[in-house]
Structures are given as C-alpha cells and as structure tokens.
Structure 1
Amino acid sequence: MEEDTDFRIRFSSLCFITDHVGFCGTIKSSPSDFIVIEIDEQGELVNKESDKLVYEVSKVLPEPNTLAKKAKLDLQILSFEETSNQEVSTLAGSSSDDHNFVPCSEKEDTVKDRTYKGEEENVDVLGSLLDEKTNELLNQFACDIKEKWDSKTELIGPSPEFSLGRILDKNQRATLHSAIRQKFPFLITVGKNSEIVVRPNLEYKELCHLVSEEEAFDFFKYLDAKKENSKFTFKPDMNKEHRKAVHHFVNKKFGNLVETKSFPELNDSADNPNVVITVRFRVKAHKHCKRSLLESQGRKDIYTAFTLRKENLEMFEAVGFLAVKLGVIASDFSYAGLKDKKAITYQAMVVRKVTPERLKNIEKEVEKKRMNVFNIRSVEDSLRLGQLKGNHFDIVIRNLKNQINDSANLRERILEAIENVKNKGFVNYYGPQRFGMGRKVHTDQIGLALLKSETVKAVKLFFTPEDLDDPVNRAKKYFLQTEDAKGTLSLMPEFKVRERALLESLHRFGVTEEGCIQAWFSFPHSLRIFYVHAYSSKIWNEAVSYRLATYGSRVVEGDLVCLDEDVDNEQLPSSKKFTLTRYSTNL
C-alpha cells in the first residue's frame, strides 16, 4: 500500500513474517474508509445497541449543581464540578459574622480568644493533650509571631521554634498536628522522632502579600482540613495580573495537592466583570484498597458509561468539547484506548460526576461536532487503559494495482496476500499513526525526553513546526523563536486543544524546568502516558524485528505460543504454532 517517505525511512528496518509479493493500494482516502469499533471485555462490539442498556431517568441519582453557563466556551479553562452541601466557607460575599478575624496586635491574647467554626473542638483537644503551662506558652508563641508580622518586623536569623516536648502516642501526635494547624494556620508543625516542633508558616506570610490575611487564614485551614470534594474561593478580583500571581503561588507551593481555576463571579455585571479563583483538591489516582462499606457509600461518585462515535476528530478534542458542555474537566473522562483521528471510531467511555440524564440532554449539541453518544447508563466505576479485548477494523483499500514489474493477475495477488495472512499470521507492529506519520518530531521522541526528565526539551519538541505555512505552524514557529506563551495563545487556533492547554500552563508558570513540569501536568494522565507508551512501542517494534531477523518464524525456547481452542498442537503446521503479535488496545 502507498506509504509516505517518512513511513518508509522510519519502518524500513522492520522485518516481516511472510515473503509474498503483495500489491499496492491507498487507505484512508476519507474517514469513512477506516472504521474502528472497540471490542469490550465480553467480546461485544461497543456500537451494538443493547436491550439491557435501558435509559431510565427515574433511577438517576441526584446530580451536583452546575456552574452558571459562560458566555464563551473555552476548551482550555474547563470548569470545576460544583458539589452541593460540601463547600468550605468561601470568602466571596461573606459577612463579618462568618469570619470573626481580629489581628493579634489589636487585643491582648486575641489568638486565644479568636473562634472559627469548629475551632472550639481544637481548643478542647489542645487543652486535653497539653498541660496548662505548655498550652499557654504555645498561645504566647503564636501571638508573638503574629505581632512581629503585623508590625512588619522581619524575623532575623533562624526561624523561631517552640517544642511541645516528646509525645510517645502516635495517635495523640497526629491529633495535635491537626489541632494546632487548624487553630493557628500561620504556624506549621514538624515531627522530630516523637517530638513536635512548632514554627512560623513562611508560606502563610508570603500569601499575605498577595491576598488579605483573612483569606490566607481560611485558605490554610482549608488545606489542612483536606475535606474531599470541598472547594475554596478567594475574594473577587478584577486584576488579571494579580490573579495570575495567586494562581502561580498556589500551584507552585501546593500544585501536587490542589488545582486552581478562574471563574466569572455569579450575578456579575457585564460592564464590570469580576473573576474569582476557586481551589479544589486534586482527584486521587484510583486505588484498589479495602474500605469499610460506610466509607465507600459516603465517597461514592456518580459514573455514567456511554459509547462515543466520532468522525475525523482527534480524541482529545472530542473529550475537551464534552468536558465543556458537561461542566467537568478532561480528567473526569476515562476510556480503554485511543482511536484514530482520520476514521469513524466507536469506543466505550465513562464520565465521572455526570448523570445519564445530563449526558442525554447534550446529545443534539454533540451531533454538531461530528460526534454521537449512545448506550448511556449508570455504572459503578471508571474505565482503565487496556480494559478491552481489541478493535474491529473495516478498511477500504482504493486504487488497487500490482507492484512494479509484477505481471501477475491483480486478483490473484490479492487472494494470495489474504491466504498468507490467514495461514502464517502477521507481525502486529505499531503503525505510523502511533508515532505521528509525516511529522518532523515523533511522539516517541517526546516520550524519551519525558522519561529522561528533560521537560523543557519535551515542550520544544512538542512545538516543533512542520514545513507548512498555516496558522498552527506559524504559532509554533513564533513560540520557539520568542518563548512567548501568551502571544502564541493568541495565534494558536481554538481547535488545537493540546497545544492551547500546554500554552495556558506555560503562560502561568513560565518556560522553565519547573514551569514545563507543571505544564505537562496540565494534561490528563492518559495523554501524558501516551507519549511514554509511544517510546515503548518503538522499542517493541525494534525488539520483535530483531527477534524475527535472528530466528525467523520458527518457535524457539522462551516464545509464548497462543493456540486455538480444541485444536491438537501436533496437527498444526509449524507456521501456525507461532504467531508473533501484540494485543493492541490503543490503535
């Protein structure tokens, strides 16, 4: 079949299991020439409508509230999922009764007197675990730190410390750590063997330079509480540069724990737009750990499964579009494998925190984007990469012709090729689409850079332009010449979801080693690991080619042999005993 120059150079060293002459043709003349249908773990095609998958609105669980719809949908700023009745007290529009905050310098021993929601319990804990003198000294230490900070006096020399002494009981130490941080968020606690040492929280002071002390106080209480599915909102802010500084601080200091997004303030006037920064805890990776029934019920999320049909659409663009329409983030979607762009593909997907009813409501909007969603139903958990049996392909080959200098009948050549595949099998190499056919930089090169922790190099490889004069490549050239992420964003077309997501993060964190690390983490895990898998695929191709060149198709010690059921091994021809293949789940 016709292959471009890039493919021939890159794959010329690969060995093939048969020596038939073959024939020429063209594939993927149009998306409808290449149809990919996922096969689920039960061996069923996912495009098949099932009688068991009955969509019943009456059985749908109550869904979380959604944010007000934005005037402009941005694929890069994917909204948080609102969670009803689980907000930590937010600062936007709060009254003085909600936050009885009095600076320490205004009243003697006000740190001891200050009361927040739930703080009385912390006072009781400190009183029950610490003797009266230690408790008083702790309060005095806290008040001294606050007075120095409020008077703008810099702490000279080593950071002051206060020791609570040795506490042998592990549970008591854990309780004290939490109680002190909740009562005095401007302090941190450090464990030294069995000793607890209290120090000033310099990150708290740094945040106070960006936001009010009231906001900093509540933010650190929120961090320490670690309440799952809760969120925290800073006061409305019209200054974009100031918001950028707050985003940068939170992500730099606590990016592995929380994530931040900006939203227009609800009920805000169009002439005077205020924006709030909302913080929420990152979703933890799926852990196969034992939990009590009560705990599992308390933390149970909503999961909705569906089949996604898309045509001539990159998968990450499809996910980004669905995320915006449903008010969730791209990482809330899970799937078993990636699918081609220039094709019609069917695949199973699961979206978290979205009910079947809400997904059903956007069906018509989705159709405008060359997509369809069907087989919608509630499930218990998300999907994992590789959670499928394989893919079914319908491939149309056009412009059939003989190889050069081959005078044989074309029909006979085609039948010969089919028989060779049926009798001898084939080597299931990862094809050029895995590595980026026709591109200067291939996905495996980016994957190798990531594996070597060369994140800046990986970013620059990602933005390497092709020899084309179009908006996308002009934007890439501009970025490599200037490293101006903000300017490149204005040039990069909206449909380039991955490029814009990376540029958004680089604009926020900078094109430094640390900034590039944060930028890569703006991608969902499945996309980050895609580049690493591409390098693994290259190694697989080279390893299997070496094996074929060394041993041919004969079975040797160490081979894994897959036999058909109910077939006697001795009755099989030698060529059938060994089929060198991989179980491809991400074509």
Structure 2
Amino acid sequence: MNTGQGKFGARKSTWGSVNRGGGWNQGEFRASSRGGFWGRSRGGHKGVPRNNQPWKSKPNRDMPGKRLSEEEIAVTQYMSDHKGFNGIIKSRYSDFQVSEINEKGEVAKLTDLTVPEPPEEDSVDEDEELFSKYNLEILPIETWDNINKLLMTAQPTDEKVEIDVTGMTKEQRTKIHDAVKKAFTDAIVGSTVTVDDKKFVRFERYRKGVRIDNRVKWNWPGEYLYFIVYKENCDTMDAAVRIAERLRLNIKPSMIGYAGTKDRRAKTSQWFSLRKVDPRRAAAASAPGLRLGNYSFGHATLKLGMLRGNQFRIALRNVTADDSVIEHACALLRDRGFVNYYGLQRFGVRRDTPTYVIGRKLLQGNFRDAIELILEEREGELSEALRLYRSSGPQRAARALPRRAGRHIEVRLLKALAKAPNDLLGALNKISRNTRLLYLHSYQSLVWNKAVSERLQKFGKQPVAGDLVPLTKVTNEVFAEELVGGMESDGDDDEAEQKDDQSATATPNTDKSDKDSKTDKVPVKILTQEDIDSGRYTIFDIVLPLPGYNIEYPPNMRDFYEEQLKKDDLTLELRHKIKSYSMSGAYRAVAARAAALRWRAVRYSDAGADLLRSDWDELNQRQLHGIIPDGKYKALLLTMSLPASCYATMALRELLKVDTSCDSQAAQNNYHLAAGHGDKHEENHSEVNKNENGVEKRKMEDEYIMEVKKTKASVGENYSSGNQ
C-alpha cells in the first residue's frame, strides 16, 4: 500500500520502531530526519522560534507555525475579473460578527437575559394531599407501608423493598420512581436492577454510600431547553466545554446540541440545546464574553446541519480604493457570486500537518501514521507531554499531562495508548466521532476544491454537457456519516461511540448494500447538450460531489477524481474495511451568491475603535464613536447572508482579490503605524492589535471582576430560592 510519503509522508515513532502487530518496540531515540520537530533545528533553543522572538511564557493555545495558504488548498479561481482592492479582514475580532439563521429563517440575536419563571404545579386540597402522597393508583397500600417502615427504624437498616416490574415499560417504571420520590424526597433512594432475567425497582433508606436518585420532576413545556449563546473570541466547541464546566451537572460537551460551528476570532450568536436542564441553572453559565439568553423550549435536540445559514456583519479596515471601485466590485459580488470553495478554516491552522493529511492517513488505514501526526511535537501546554511521547513513549507522556488539559484530543489518545499501546483503533475511538469525521471530511474537501478549480479552468463559468444538477434541494455539506447519532446521546457518549466502532471493526465492510440501503441517494441529472441549449441552467445550479460510495460522479470530471484519489492509493468509492471510515460522499454547489448584500464606506481614525455594534452592545445600549466623517482611514462595512457551510472569507476573497490567509492579513495590520510614523497614540493601538485585540481582552477582564460577585449572588441565590 502506498503510504503517501513525501512532504507529508509516513513517519516512524522517534522512540522506537513499529512491529508488524501495530505496537511499538522500545528502542533508542531516533532524531527526525527533518532536523527536529515544529521547525526547530536540532540545536535550537526550546521555546524560541527561528526569528528569535520568544514565545509567551504561558501560552493558552498551541502555537502554530506558518499557516496554510489558499494555493495549498487549491483555492485559485474567481467568478469575476474586476480589479481588487486592499482591505484587512479581521483586523480585530470585533470586525467579524456572525448570527446563525435557523431552519425557520429566524436570525439568532441576543435580546433578553431574563430567566423564565418555572411553571406552577397544580394545587391540591388537604383531602387530596394524603392521597397524592401515597398514590394508590401507582402502588398498593401494602407497598407504601413497607417503604414507610424503612424510615421508622431507629437505626440505619440494610433492608430493601423490591417491586417486580418485569414487563413494564420505562415510562411505567419512571412513574413509580416519581411517586416514591414525591412522597419521601431524598430519604428513600430508588434504583432499577436486573436479577436472574427479572427487573425490579428497589427502594432503600438513604445512607452514606448509596447513590441518590437525582431525577427531578420536569414541568417545563418541552424536554429540551433552547437558548442563544453570544460569545466573543471563542469558538463553538470551546463554548460548549465552558458551559459544561460551569454547569457542574456531569454534562459532557458532546451532550450540548448545536446546529453549526462558528469561528473563534469573531463575535457570534447561535442556538444551543440541553436536555432537561433548568433555565435558572443554565443562566449560571453566563460569563464575560459568553452570554446566555432568549430561553425557549422544544422537543428535539439541535444537531449539526439544522440551520439555514448565517448572517455576517463585517468591517474591512484600511480600504484604499475609490468609492467607484468599491461599488463596482460589490455589485459584481452580488450578481455573479463567488466560487464556493472550502475556506482555510476547514483544514486547520498547522501548515506542516493540515487536517486533510490526517484524514488521508485514516482513509488509507494507516492508523499509526495518523496518530503520529496528531501527536506531533509543538509548543503549547502539551509540549512536554508530546516531547516525552517522542522520546520515551505514551506511558511517560501520559504521566506528564497537565491536570486541566482533558479537552484536548491528544490527551485522550495518550491515555489510551498508555493503557494499550497496540490498540490503535481503540485509541482513535477515544476521540469523539465528530472530531474523527472532521479529519475525513477535510480530505474530501481538499479533493472537492481541486475538482472545482479544474472544472472552472477546463469548462469556464457556464454549464456544459456532463455537469450534474440535483433533482432535489441539496444543502451544503450534509454528510450521512455526520447525521448518524447527532450530537447527543442519552447515555455515555464515549462508550456508545466506542461500542459502535468496536462492532464495526469486528465485521469487514463487504456488503455494499448494507449502508447504501440506510442512506437515500440524492438524485441528480447529467446535463445533455440539449439541456445546455435550452438555457434553463446556470452555474449556480451545478454541483460537484465530495468523493464517496453513495454519489454520482459527473462524466466530464470522473477521470480527474479517479486520478486524484489514485495518487493517494484510494478509490472513488472511499470504502474502508472498517465501516466508520467509509465515506458516503455529498454534493456541494460550485458557486454561491450572498443574499441581502448591503455595503457602505465609512471613515475612522482610531485603529482600535469598534466599527460594528454587537448584540451585547445593543442589549446594553452602548453607542459606538469610532466612525467619524473626516477620519484618517476608510473602512467598508458589509452585511450579507450565506447558506450553511459557505465561507464568508471566500466571498471576501472574490471581492478583494487577495489571499485571505491569516499570515497575509496580519502582514497588513500595522498600517496605522506606517501612517503615524512614531505617533504614540498610534503605537499604543499597534500593541493592542498585536496582542489579540488587547483592548477587548482588558474590557472583558474588567467586566469579569465587576460581575463575578453579582453573578454568584443573583443567579446562585435565585436558583436556590427557586428550588426550595
């Protein structure tokens, strides 16, 4: 099998050789042939990159090296040939604001922090109260007496009351638990046990060491709590982790539902969902830069893909073009759209190991190589553990892990490998299913980017015979694999995923009809010359497939797909002997258009001033003063809506005709220094921007100091009083 050696070739473990069984043979340390990891020479000083600028002493995030460029992900074509102009994307993270659009077409906007009042329970008179306490419709009086006797004994007792519930439904058993809990509160502890193929509900007196039944009566109007999360400089997955930690309810981030993932370096608003969490408790998860509000209820969890799109509010700074040039370019973007490329965010931040390289290794079945790439040595809080993994193996690395680093996938891998070094699949299964799919989809996305560039170069920007058009509405990036199981499990998410994947490893994927029958194939039409001559179709109707076994390849591009996959020792079907690594594929529109595109040019002088009002600004009636008529610099303010999985940076690339990579944009961000020539006021703002928008960070820190006591006093006391 081709291991894909080359720039991103296979790498042996540097602390030992790989044996045939997939495990390690510990041996002497072998230095990397590239002269060290993460771009350091063998003699380089740890923590100091080659430009002699020291890293921060306590980095909060892994420090990437040089970022990917657009050319490296095959982003090369444009829809229009107008002259571009200069404009800085995300000069500050407040310049990029995103609001989710749900399936109903509603835009997520944080407008209300009010916590809803709990519904009132039905009142009963004194005669009914006794009957209500011992519900004879649920249990006979003799059983109630036996349970009551458990509390009458002077000394703690090990006696139990067991009720045979074999054949009862879960709903019927829940009614029994609820009735006893209502009558005796936490003094009696209930559980459901199985003995000799029979099921019993067991009740015993509470004593230390007996697990309390924490189930509560749920009177709210829906099983799931919905709420809008407004966040600053925080991506969706980080927000889910922070909310889970602050709730302290043994809730895992994977049990928090959401419809889409949003950028970190932005201000964003989107819906989250939680199952049977009291909104008063959820409100306690609010913190500066992470606000919860607009609470409502529903009957289903949110899953990836359950959205119509996103609304973007964007400020491009230091625009140098005349207004006439701007007007012409914006009008072309509105009318001709943009190539619907996957943006750089899709492929990770590490240029030396993009996510598509790891995805390719997984699809090839080179699990060892994939693990080695994920655990590559780099700066950050895991640097010491990753260094020890290279030099001494997973056991030493696992012992060196920081205490509060559990959210990293590297931590899960290292702990699993420390316990079972030969079980590569078991270690990979410790990574959440959606994270593994991100690697696989990243590889598919790279192939798609290459295909759309080839298609536009070869045939132009109009439909041609052999193109595909869907016969039903196609939503971008609806992968069958991603929708299986969704984002939430009533049980242990990790265990459920592990069981699914273990069962998959035991059974080779030889029956092609097995999974095909579970996933409906999207019907598509292959255009003929007659269709082209009819004029019924435009470039916006054309789709290209992401490779997989459940899609149709366009005849005019099939050879290209086959050639690309063959280079990586893969087939058009992307089938794998392990089912969880077989990809069904999907369709994506070649071009997209922004809806409700609006723009206006403004002037400003303060490079650190906000130019866009956020949801939080509007909620607190905060006015902005950065826009002034005679300002030194020009900015372009844009508002637009894009379908789900469309990248706003690709629309901006079409508008500006510039590389949207972080390195390219950051290189322009000292414009105010060049103009000021030593002006101290401008120099101060340069330091602000160089330190991840320090003004915003300091504002959030000050806000936190002022509000932490108020949060504990108001939210905490309100919740406590509400439960009494």
TM, length-normalised to structure 1: 0.51
Distance 1:447 1:474 in 2: 25
Distance change in 2, residues 1:417/1:483 (3 Å) = farther
RMSD: 4.8
Alignment of 1:401-550 (within 5 A): 401=320, 410-466=322-378, 468=379, 470-484=380-394, 487-488=397-398, 490-492=400-402, 494=404, 497-499=407-409, 501-503=411-413, 505-506=415-416, 509-514=419-424, 516-523=425-432, 525-550=433-458
Structure 1 residues 575 and 313: alpha-carbon distance in aligned structure 2, compared to 1, 3 A threshold: closer
Number of the residue aligned with 1:289:
none
CA distance in 1 between counterparts of 2:121 and 2:84 reads 56
Deviation at 1:410, TM superposition (A): 4.6
Q: CA deviation at 1:450?
A: 3.3
Amino acid at match of 2:240: V
1:501 shift after superposition = 4.9
Gaps of 5+ in 2: 1-65, 123-155, 168-190, 213-217, 472-532, 543-588, 593-642, 648-724
Tell me the alpha carbon deviations over residues 324-366 of structure 1, each in whole angstroms, 9 at most, x when there is no partner: 2221122211111111111111111111231223212x1xx53
Structure 1: state its 5+ residue gaps: 63-93, 99-115, 126-217, 232-265, 269-275, 279-296, 402-408, 563-568
Per the alignment, residue 343 of structure 1 pairs with 266
SS at match of 1:434: helix
What is the distance in 2 between the residues matched to 1:226 and 1:434? 49
Offset of residue 533 of structure 1: 2.4
Amino acid at match of 1:517: G
Query: Which one of the candidate residues 449, 456, 464 is aligned to 1:556?
Result: 464
Are the counterparts in 1 of residues 259 and 306 from structure 2 also a CA contact under 8 Å? yes
Flag the 1:417–1:455 CA change in 2: closer, same or farther, 3 A.
same
| Matched letter for residue 331 of structure 1 | S
> Are 2:307 and 1:388 aligned?
yes
Residue 220 and residue 303 in structure 1: after superposition, are their counterparts in 2 closer, same or farther (change >3 A)? closer
How far apart, in 2, do the equivalents of 1:477 and 1:414 lie?
50
Compared CA separation, residues 435 and 513, structure 1 to 2 (3 A) = same
C-alpha contact (below 8 Å) 1:303/1:380 kept by paired residues? yes
Inter-CA distance 374–11: structure 2 relative to 1 (3 Å threshold): same
Alpha-carbon displacement from aligned partner over 1:77-97 (angstroms, at most 9, x marks no partner): xxxxxxxxxxxxxxxxx9765
Q: Which residue type is aligned with residue 450 of structure 2?
A: E
**1:575–1:317 distance in 2 versus 1, CA, 3 Å:** closer
Residue type at the aligned position of 2:439: Y
Kept in 1, the 8 Å contact 2:262–2:268? The answer is yes
Cα pair distance change 1:585/1:445, threshold 3 Å: same
Q: What are the superposed Cα offsets for residues 42-101 of structure 1, whole Å, 9 maximum, x if unpaired? A: 212111548xx9853322899xxxxxxxxxxxxxxxxxxxxxxxxxxxxxxx97656xxx
How much does 1:394 deviate? 1.7
1-side partners of 2:646 and 2:429: how far apart? 21
Distance in 2 (alpha carbons) for counterparts of 1:441 and 1:224: 52
Tell me the residue number matched to 1:310. Answer: 231
State the match for 1:400 in structure 2: 319
Instruction: Encode CA deviations 1:114-170: one digit per residue, 9 max, x unaligned.
Output: xx9679x99xx9xxxxxxxxxxxxxxxxxxxxxxxxxxxxxxxxxxxxxxxxxxxxx
Q: Work out whether residues 74 and 446 of structure 2, in 8 Å CA contact, stay in contact via their aligned partners in 1.
A: no
Q: Which SS does the other structure have where 1:57 is aligned?
A: coil
> Map of 1:150-165 to 2, 5 A cutoff?
none
Aligned length: 363
The sequence identity of aligned pairs, in percent, is 26
SS of the residue corresponding to residue 469 of structure 2 reads coil
TM-aligned CA deviation for residue 10 of structure 1:
0.9
- Equivalent residue in structure 2 for 1:580, among 590, 595, 599: 590
C-alpha contact (below 8 Å) 2:230/2:291 kept by paired residues: yes
Looking at structure 1, the residues matched to 118 and 292 of structure 2 have their Cα atoms a distance apart, in angstroms, of: 20
Q: Secondary structure at the match of 1:560?
A: strand
**Counterparts of 2:383 and 2:371, CA distance in 1:** 15
Report the residue type matching 2:307 in the other structure. Answer: L
Contact 1:34 1:395 in 2 (8 A): yes
Instruction: Report the TM-score, using the length of structure 2 for normalisation.
Output: 0.42
**How many Å separate the matches in 2 of 1:489 and 1:322?**
28
Aligned to 1:32: 94
Whole-Å separation in 2 of the counterparts to 1:374 and 1:380: 19
1:372 to 287, 291, 302: 291
Contact 1:355 1:378 survives alignment (8 Å): no
Alpha-carbon distance in structure 1 between the residues aligned to 2:118 and 2:282:
15
